[in-house]
Amino acid sequence: MWQVSPEISEITEITENSQGDGSGKVPPVKPESLPALRGRRLVLALSGGIACYKSAELLRLLVKAGASVQVVMSEAAEHFITAVTMQALSGQPVTTSQWDAREPNNMAHINLTRGADAIVVAPASADCIAALAQGRADDLISLMCLARPWTMAQQPCPLLLAPAMNREMWSHPATRRNVAQVVADGAVLLGPAHGDQACGEIGDGRMLEPEELFDEIVAFFQPKPLRGRRVLITAGPTFEAIDPVRGITNLSSGKMGFALARAAREAGAEVTLVAGPVSQATPRGVRRIDVRSAVQMRDAVLPLAPEHDVFIATAAVADWRPATAAEHKLKKDGSGQCPALSFVENPDILAGVARLPKAPYCVGFAAESEKLAEHARAKRERKGVPLLVANLGPATFGQDDNAVLLVDAAGERPLPEDGRRTDKLSLARLLVHEIANRLDAASA
């Protein structure tokens, strides 16, 4: 029943045996060399609905991430997309009937879920959810889900549902009851989304996009060391206005802060992200507050900080701002003289949070250009925080990968431990687990 696609095996082998580019430098670990779902065995079930076309792209993403995926299709699903397409993408025969005679024991509904890490039903139609809520077993998908291992007596096979239906169907009391029942029975709901629907109407009920579903599936399998915790994160640069069209800022892209927000949410935390002016997409499930200046960031953070367990100050906050911002654009007058600007120091947001009577566990970031460890140690003591994450700003701003130095009262050590640059999401996950371990130690 289960097999690993030859393409995935080949990619893994090439990655693990790579010796670099011949330059003598250790290459950074790229995201694609760390398949997020490597070794996972998934069942992807398609019930009927136009959203089946999205399932093909979701399948491609799952396989690319290293998962072995067995596709199951209802009779209705085959009216929207062919089994040939899904077989080509998965590299495995598609199962379409509970009477599939290819199984030696003729029990596809049993064999499909034994050894599987999860069943993902995408799309999950209103009829499919109703069948699951009522414990029906009159087609392959409902029969398979009912027969999946779900008790702790054996390795459970979780059930993830991606609803897809018309907005009126989604809001109908019967569907709401059925959804509540399947969730009470242990299913995990992925979506739905709000937006344009194939029928021409607009509202809730459309299936999440393939990339969103992929992220949710990856997040599902991440450990949850921050479950029940609340995390506040700042990210990106600040912009300090000189006049209505000019200002002082820096090269921070916000990528590290946004990766930390995603990783913290994956780890089970409730996450609030206060972001400077960046164009990064908000991670799913994260509350985002947009600000522009350092003062606006401080005003957003200070009232929220006491309500959170952790504060991670990733933002590259400008140290100074113009004392006054001109009402109109400052123009050249031909004299060759620049307008005189005076500056005032911006508020120290991290130190301010650390001094609060009910301060969260504070993690600072330092972007230096030289003497990394020396400046990071001094900054940690000056800010009064237990942990400071240091990196070289010119080498990381705008980049997709990084390596950092963790600085605390005991000294400093690199992360990753081998000192190699890794993609920022992988680095964020390492940092989140580092913070979770320190929280547990502090509360022990």
Q: How many CA atoms lie within 13 A of 82 on its CB side?
A: 3
The answer on whether 348 is annotated among ligand-binding residues is yes
- The dihedral over CA atoms of 263, 266, 271, 276, expressed in degrees to the nearest 10, equals 30
Omega within 30 of 0 (cis) for the link into 416: yes
Residues 253 and 166: their CA atoms lie apart, in Å, by 38
- Choice among 145, 199, 338, 362 that is catalytic: 199
Residue 70: CB atoms within 10 A of its CB come to: 23
319 assigned ligand-binding residue:
yes
Q: Is 30 annotated as a binding residue?
A: no
Q: Is 333 annotated as a binding residue?
A: no
383 is in an annotated binding site: yes
First-last CA distance in the chain: 46
The question of whether 157 is a catalytic residue gets the answer: no
The reply to whether 350 sits in an annotated binding site is: yes
8 A C-beta contact, residue 112 and residue 142? no
Q: Is 347 annotated as a binding residue?
A: yes
Residue 247: what are its φ and ψ, rounded to 5°? -170, 180
What is the residue-wise DSSP string for 108-141?
HHHHTTTT-SEEEEEEE-HHHHHHHHHT--SSHH
> Using CA atoms, how far apart are residues 273 and 313, in angstroms rounded to an integer?
10
List the catalytic residues. 199
Annotated binding site: 319, 329, 347-350, 365, 379, 383
Annotated binding site for CTP: 319, 329, 347-350, 365, 379, 383
